[in-house]
Amino acid sequence: MAAYSQTPDWSGAVSALRQSTSVLIIAHVTPDADALGSALAIGLALESLGKSVQVSVGEPQFQVPMSLNFLPGQHLVVPPENVVVPDLVVSCDTSSDARLGSLAESLNAAPISIALDHHASFTGFGTIHLIDPVAPATAALALELIDRLGVELTVDIATAIYSGLATDTGSFKFQGTTADTLRVAARLFEAGIDHATLARRLFDDEPFEALVMMAHAVQHAVLDRQAASGLGLVYTAISLADRGTMPELSMERVIEALRRTSEAEIAAVFKQADDGTWKGSLRSKTEINVGAVATALGGGGHHYAAGWTATQDLDAAIANLKTELEFAARG
Ligand code: MN
């Protein structure tokens, strides 16, 4: 049984937002374009309704990473230390309040909090739930909320929404993409987005050292054909030393490269965090639900994309992953 209502409470969310005067919108830590794009789009919509809006991420002295600094609405972003207590909090693309970092307290202390998310592993925090595990991106739900608030779709809002939608669908390649997804994308084109520039900023714009890191990670990739009852696993690891000054998003490209491997149903990348722990990212092609695998390992996610933080050393983390994949493959 899921820890949330299966029917999004749109009318509850709209009336709470209409009655509010100050709103804090939180994206998950190490935000991607879906989390931050959704937060900024909603922020711009609420600003146009005369609300006082803050957008933040619960990381010390948070600043928008360079890879996302083209998103409209940057003037709404405040570091968590400067957040003024709002009367309503919205979380975007966050399945567990632990992923809100230092702002989890702000959400849990707020009299009204709206959780907007598309993770099947959503844990049920917040007082109003707008959860749809079938939605291809939180950004699609953000647009529905903006529509229901009666706010006009400006080019800035459309740009922020498109960034989330294009990212979470892998440029409209992933399984969750539907005819409705493309109809939403068409609306965003009609609103005037510059999709070619956005695609370059989102997918094809990295410093040279990212290419060097990619080469290193790919060269050290391991193919285990026996893993997952013979479905196959391809994996690599990126240590702190390999990472250098690379931002988080560039490392996502590594798993996108690995998952092309024909001989492997599953791709995994282990990234070492600043505190030395290993964060695992998982992708599957069809059969294996890596969201369930990641949940068993203490993380969470979707059928085709998921992640967790390993508490062991790298060899043990790889061994644990293989054990869980074996369980998953045997059903
Ligand atoms: Mn998302």
Q: What is the pLDDT of residues 99-130, one digit of tens each?
A: 999 999 999 999 999 999 999 889 999 999 99
Tokens representing 72?
A: 């409209």
Query: How far away, in angstroms, is 93 Cα from ligand 1 center?
Result: 5
What's residue 1's pLDDT? 45
How many angstroms is it from 14 CA to the middle of ligand 1? 21
The CATH number of 208-330, from 3.10.310.30, 3.30.70.100, 3.30.2320.30, 3.40.50.300, is: 3.10.310.30
Domain ranges of the chain: 10-203, 208-330
- Residue 51: its H or E element: none
| pLDDT greater than 80 at residue 322 | yes
Name the more confident of 141 and 274. Answer: 141
Question: Ligand 1 center to residue 302 CA distance, Å?
Answer: 9
Question: Mean pLDDT, to the nearest integer, of 244-258?
Answer: 80
Q: Find all residues with CB under 8 Å of 65, minimum gap 6, and list them.
A: 31, 247, 248, 249
Residues in CB range of 123: below 8 A, 6 or more apart: 3, 95, 96, 97
**225: CA distance to ligand 1 center in Å?**
30
Q: Phi/psi of residue 246, each to 5°?
A: -60, 130
At residue 251, does pLDDT exceed 80? no
Alpha carbon of 144 to ligand 1 centroid (Å) = 15
Q: Is the pLDDT of residue 250 over 90?
A: no
Q: What would the pLDDT profile of 144-167 be if each residue is shown by its tens digit?
A: 999 999 999 999 999 999 999 999
Tell me how far the alpha carbon of residue 179 lies from the centroid of ligand 1, in angstroms.
18
Predicted confidence (pLDDT) at residue 249 exceeds the cutoff of 90: no
Distance 243 CA to ligand 1 centre (A): 24
The pLDDT, as a whole number, for residue 58 is 98
Distance 180 CA to ligand 1 centre (A): 17
- Hey, what CATH class is 10-203 in? alpha beta
Using the predicted structure, report yes or no on whether residue 207 has a pLDDT greater than 70. Answer: yes
Which run of H or of E encompasses 180? helix 179-190
Task: Kindly give the distance from the C-alpha atom of residue 87 to the centroid of ligand 1, in angstroms, as a whole number.
Answer: 25
Residue 248 confidence class, pLDDT cut points 50, 70, 90? low
Asked if the model's pLDDT at residue 2 lies above 70, the reply is no
Average pLDDT over residues 24-32: 96
Between the CA of 131 and the centroid of ligand 1 the distance, in Å, is 12
- Taking the C-alpha atoms of residue 41 and residue 160, their distance in angstroms, rounded to an integer, is 6
Task: Summarize pLDDT for 46-98 with one digit per residue, the tens.
Answer: 999 999 999 999 999 999 998 899 999 999 999 999 999 999 999 999 999 99
Q: How far is the CA of 36 from the centre of ligand 1 (A)?
A: 10
Q: What is the pLDDT of residues 174-189, one digit of tens each?
A: 888 999 999 999 999 9
